[in-house]
Homo-oligomer: A and B are copies of this chain.
C-alpha cells in the first residue's frame, strides 16, 4: 500500500522547526510493517495545500496529513480538505460539546475561535484526540483515504497509534496486531550486530511475521523486532523465541530493553541492594552525573558528583595529596573512586578519567579513557580503553563505558570485554 506523509505549516516549511513529526510517523509505519513512499511539506497556504492534497490523492492509497487543525486563521486543513473532497464544512456537535467540556474542566471559558476546530468536512470520520481540542478526522479525497492529525507532537503520536495505524493495517489487509520489541546494546557496531543476529527472524516459525531492524544512536545501538499476528497472542508467540535468541546473542552487551536505559538499570541495581552512588569525572564534564542525577530513580541513590578539569584538580577536590605528575591510569581512576566513596559515604563510587591525545580536535583524535570503581567488600574495577572520533565522540563513549562498567560490576558480568569502539 502506498502511503504519503503530508506535513503542513510555515514553521516546518521555513525550517524554523525541525520536522521530527515526519520522522516519528515514518518510523512508526516501519515498525508495524508499513512504509511511507513519499513525503510532502507545504506551508499554511490554500493553493499549495489544495495542490498537495490532489497530488497525494493521485499518488497514494493512504495519506497522513499532519498539522493545520488549530483554532487560528492560518490553520486551513479542514477547509482545504472539504474543498478537495468537494463537500461542505459542517459543525460536528459532539466535538463542540467535547471542547466545551474540556474548557469547563479547566475552569476556563472556551475562546470563540475554538469553534472552528469542530467544523469538519461533511462525511468525515472523527479520529479521537483524548488530550487536546484538535479533532482528527479521516476522509476520502479522490481515490485515497486521508487521515488528518494535529501538529502537537504528543497529540499526533497518540492519535497515530490509537486511530490511524489500526485503520491503515485494516486497509492493507494485514492481520490486526503488531508488537515492537526493542533492545539497547553498548559495544557492538551496527554491521557486527547485523552479522551476530543473522537468521534470528527464522525462529518465529514457518509463518514468519517477525522483522529485524537497527537504529544507531552512538554509542548505543537499538535493535528492533517488529512482530505481526492475527491477534496479540499470536504476535507474542512468534516473538518469544526470537527475543530469547537476541538476548542470548547480544549477551553481556545488552544494556536495557524497551523504554529502560543504561542509567536506569544502574540506578535500579543499586536501589535493589540499598546502594548509593557518587561519580567523579574529568573531561566528561559532568555528563555522567547529568544522565543519572536528573532521573526520578536517582532519589535516594545518587549522592554526589564531582567534576574537575584534570586529574590533579580532581585529586585536590577529593582531598588526595598532590602527586608529582599524576598520570591518567586505571590505578589512578580506582584511587579516585576509593577516595570519593570514603568522602561521600556512598556504597559505590565511579571515576572516569580521560587523557586526550595531543593536537587539535579532529575526527581522528583519540584518547585514553580510564574507569575506576570502588564498591563494598573490595569490589573494584580498573579498566582502560582507547577511544577515537574527536573530543565529543570520546566524551560520549567514555560516559557510556563508565556506566556500563558499573552495570557489569553490579550484575556480576565481566567488566573488561572489548567494545567495538576501542582499539586494543
Contact = CB atoms under 8 A, between A and B. Distances in A.
A303 B307 CA distance: 8
Given A43-B37, A344-B317, A395 B16 contact: no
A415 interface: no
Contact of A307 (B17, B41, B289, B361): B289
Interface string A293-334: 110101100111111110001000100000000000000000
Contacts of A303: 308-309, 313
A294 B392 CA distance: 9
Say whether chain A's binding surface is mostly helix, strand, loop, or mixed.
mixed
Best-surrounded residue of A289, A296, A395 (most CB of chain B within 10 A): A289
Contacts of A42: 38-39
Nearest to A298: B309
Contacts of A28: 15
Contacts of A317: 304, 306, 344
B307 A307 contact: yes
A103 to B, nearest CB: 16
A195 interface: no
B15 A30 contact: yes
A397 to B, nearest CB: 14
Nearest to A361: B296
A243 interface: no
Those 5 A-B pairs whose CB atoms lie nearest each other, nearest first: A15-B26, A39-B41, A305-B307, A286-B286, A15-B23
Interface of A: 5, 7, 12-20, 22-30, 35-43, 48, 52, 55, 215, 285-287, 289-290, 292-294, 296, 298-299, 302-309, 313, 317, 344, 361, 395
24 contacts: A5-B41, A12-B39, A13-B26, A13-B36, A13-B37, A14-B27, A14-B35, A15-B27, A15-B28, A17-B23, A18-B18, A19-B19, A19-B22, A19-B23, A22-B41, A38-B52, A39-B39, A285-B292, A286-B286, A286-B290, A290-B290, A294-B395, A303-B308, A317-B344
